[in-house]
Amino acid sequence: MKVRVRFAPSPTGGLHLGGVRTVLYNYLFAKAHGGTFVLRIEDTDQNRYVPGAEQYIIDCLEWCGLSPDESPVKGGPHTPYRQSERKELYHKYAKQLIASGHAYYAFDTPEDLEKMRHDLRKDEHTPAQYDSSTRMKMRNSLTLSDAETWELIESGTPYVVRIKMPENVTVHLSDMICGDMSFESSLSDDKVLLKADGMPTYHLAVVVDDHLMEITHAFRGQEWLPSAPVHVLLWEYLGWKDKMPRWAHLPLILKPDGNGKLSKRDGDRLGFPVFAMNWNDPKTGELTSGFREIGFIPQAFVNMLAMLGWNDGSGQEIFSMPELISKFSIERVHKGGAKFDFDKAKWFNHQYMQQMDTAALAQLVAPYMDKEMGPGNWDMNTLLTVIPMIKERCTLLPDVWAQGHFFFRTPELIEKAAIADKWNDQKQLFFTTWADVLATLDAWDEPTIEASFNEHVQQHGMKKGDLMLPFRIMLVGGKYGPGVFAIAALIGKGETLKRIQVTLAAL
């Protein structure tokens, strides 16, 4: 059997961690079986549709290295891939369901529904559902005659199509992750299949499209489990049950500090991104930060997500994409949700920064260099030299600048406070005279500079330990960075002397 999987996001906002992970597991499963990964866009809610969101999703997938084989832009054998462009299809199958008695027209207004939910409420806490116990009290094609129904439709009365849930049926569902489950059909309400605006709801669209696009395995978040029986019933009622995909309901990604699904607002609140890339909402003008922009390497991001809900049992945590494809197994995906841990996410990125080759890393760092120094105003060869010296101190891509800016530019901020209270005339004299010695040096390399320093320390009868930190502060501006003599060697004699003199004058 040829494997076909799909991801069907609604273009209503950024792509969050759970979404990317769903794509990832889809992708890994498909690639492991030589299958096809389909992207279709679920733009079925005109009120919530946000222009640009579709392209954003496509860009995110590309950044993550998870580009689909078939998509609205790429095309494929099942065009169109946008649900808004497949409207007639849904109408056709909705009519088929009505004809076979599994669905019906409903003309109730929102006010009618609200009244029903209030008047017929089952108990204090729970409003009534539109289901077998209430549907015969509403205005729909089950209570109206055919002629009345037809007249209402002809006269342009807004209507929806609802599924007629059976009264006493136990729906069985076999899930690749959750195992066998069963649901009582009477517990679900008569879900709307076709909305008054003519668009399908998710329930109809997912079944029709999965069938038409020959999807064999359907991955989605566990929040869909309660409506899965509706979908199973639709597969059955449409006569396609033998072609129903195998389901896999993925565990949820939860808030780090406790309760609930991770949401966009948690990122703002806790100081980390929840979207793959920056999302600029054109409707609200609100900007939500992404993992790409704060300096994650895409492979690290994807690796981190892969481990949030799955492992191969060996204890290995760093996997390349080909390794993930060959080792991923749906049986080892957890059932329980996982709290997202930003520290662990950063650890993954740190690991990738250490193992990545310098040239590739420099390419990823270049945009941040452009941002700080201006495009063309910095030297790539210097960056290539500097990266191996500082990368172990770097967790995210912009840390390269934070940890190495002094190689490119005289530090603007000098942490004088770190040395000021122990400063004295003797030290002042030491550096003044040593600068003169340095000026006369012929060679300019790390051992030469350090030897000169040591010799000068001895001549002044001072302690090297008292002078190393001041020298560092002069060159770097703060208490961090690689060996001071290596820094001096790299920035050059002129720049070293300049930094010593500037700081001496300021102390």
Q: Which residues are designated catalytic? A: 264
Please state the closest distance from residue 375 (CB atom) to RNA, in A. Answer: 28
Secondary structure E strands in 2-68: 4-7, 36-39
Rounded distance between C-alpha atoms, residue 267 and residue 278, angstroms: 12
Please state the closest distance from residue 491 (CB atom) to RNA, in A. Answer: 15
How far CA 354 is from CA of 246, 361, 397, in Å, comes to: 40, 9, 11
Rounded distance between C-alpha atoms, residue 30 and residue 33, angstroms: 5
Q: According to CB under 7 A, which residues from 12 to 71 bind RNA?
A: 12, 42, 44-45, 48
**CA 429, 435, 426: angle at the middle one, nearest 5?**
15
Rounded distance between C-alpha atoms, residue 249 and residue 335, angstroms: 9
Closer to RNA by Cβ: residue 91 or 117:
117
Q: According to CB under 7 A, which residues from 346 to 375 bind RNA?
A: 347
Pick the piece of the chain touching RNA (CB under 7 A) from 147-155, 276-284, 334-342, 429-437: 334-342
Q: According to CB under 7 A, which residues from 117 to 156 bind RNA?
A: 117, 123, 125-127, 129-130
Q: According to CB under 7 A, which residues from 476 to 505 bind RNA?
A: 479-483
- Among 10, 26, 288, 349, the residue binding RNA under the rule CB under 7 A is 10
- Among 89, 142, 196, 504, the residue binding RNA under the rule CB under 7 A is 196
Q: Using an 8 Å Cβ cutoff, are 328 and 241 in contact?
A: no
**Cα 362 → chain centroid:** 23
Closer to RNA by Cβ: residue 189 or 210:
189
- Count Cα atoms within 13 angstroms, Cβ side, for 162: 22
Q: Smallest Cα–Cα separation from 200: which of 44, 3, 426, 10?
A: 44
**270 touching RNA, by CB under 7 A:** no
Q: According to CB under 7 A, which residues from 377 to 436 bind RNA?
A: 392-393
137 marked as part of a ligand binding site? no
- 201-230 mask for RNA (x: CB under 7 A)? xx-------------------xxxxxx---
SS (H, E, C) 292-331: CCCCCCHHHHHHHHHCCCECCCCCCCCCCHHHHHHHCCHH
Amino acid, single-letter form, for residue 9: P
Pick the piece of the chain touching RNA (CB under 7 A) from 61-69, 106-114, 211-219, 497-505: 106-114
- 303-332 mask for RNA (x: CB under 7 A)? ----xxx-x-x-x-x--------------x
**89 touching RNA, by CB under 7 A:** no
Please state the closest distance from residue 329 (CB atom) to RNA, in A. Answer: 11
**376 touching RNA, by CB under 7 A:** no
Closer to RNA by Cβ: residue 124 or 242:
124
Closer to RNA by Cβ: residue 370 or 445:
445
Pick the piece of the chain touching RNA (CB under 7 A) from 250-258, 264-272, 295-303, 431-439: 250-258
- Among 95, 241, 371, 464, the residue binding RNA under the rule CB under 7 A is 464
Q: Count residues binding RNA (CB under 7 A).
A: 80
Please state the closest distance from residue 260 (CB atom) to RNA, in A. Answer: 4
Q: Using an 8 Å Cβ cutoff, are 40 and 34 in contact?
A: no
How far CA 480 is from CA of 121, 227, 416, 474, in Å, comes to: 66, 55, 14, 12
How far CA 33 is from CA of 20, 336, 484, in Å, comes to: 20, 26, 54
CA end-to-end distance (rounded Å), the chain: 76
In a 10 Å sphere around its CB, with 0-12 CB exposed, 13-18 middle and 19+ buried, how is residue 123 labelled? Answer: exposed
Enter the tokens of residue 396. Answer: 């995210």
Q: Using an 8 Å Cβ cutoff, are 2 and 36 in contact?
A: yes
Rounded distance between C-alpha atoms, residue 108 and residue 144, angstroms: 12
- Among 17, 160, 489, 491, the residue binding RNA under the rule CB under 7 A is 160
Q: According to CB under 7 A, which residues from 227 to 246 bind RNA?
A: 227
Closer to RNA by Cβ: residue 163 or 369:
163
Please state the closest distance from residue 125 (CB atom) to RNA, in A. Answer: 4
Please state the closest distance from residue 170 (CB atom) to RNA, in A. Answer: 10
**98 touching RNA, by CB under 7 A:** no
Rounded distance between C-alpha atoms, residue 151 and residue 123, angstroms: 37
Please state the closest distance from residue 286 (CB atom) to RNA, in A. Answer: 18
- Among 16, 21, 327, 472, the residue binding RNA under the rule CB under 7 A is 472
Q: According to CB under 7 A, which residues from 165 to 184 bind RNA?
A: 178-179, 181, 183-184
Closer to RNA by Cβ: residue 259 or 440:
259
Please state the closest distance from residue 487 (CB atom) to RNA, in A. Answer: 9
* Coil, strand or helix at 104: strand
DSSP state of 44: -
Binding-site residue positions for ATP: 264
Binding-site residue positions: 264
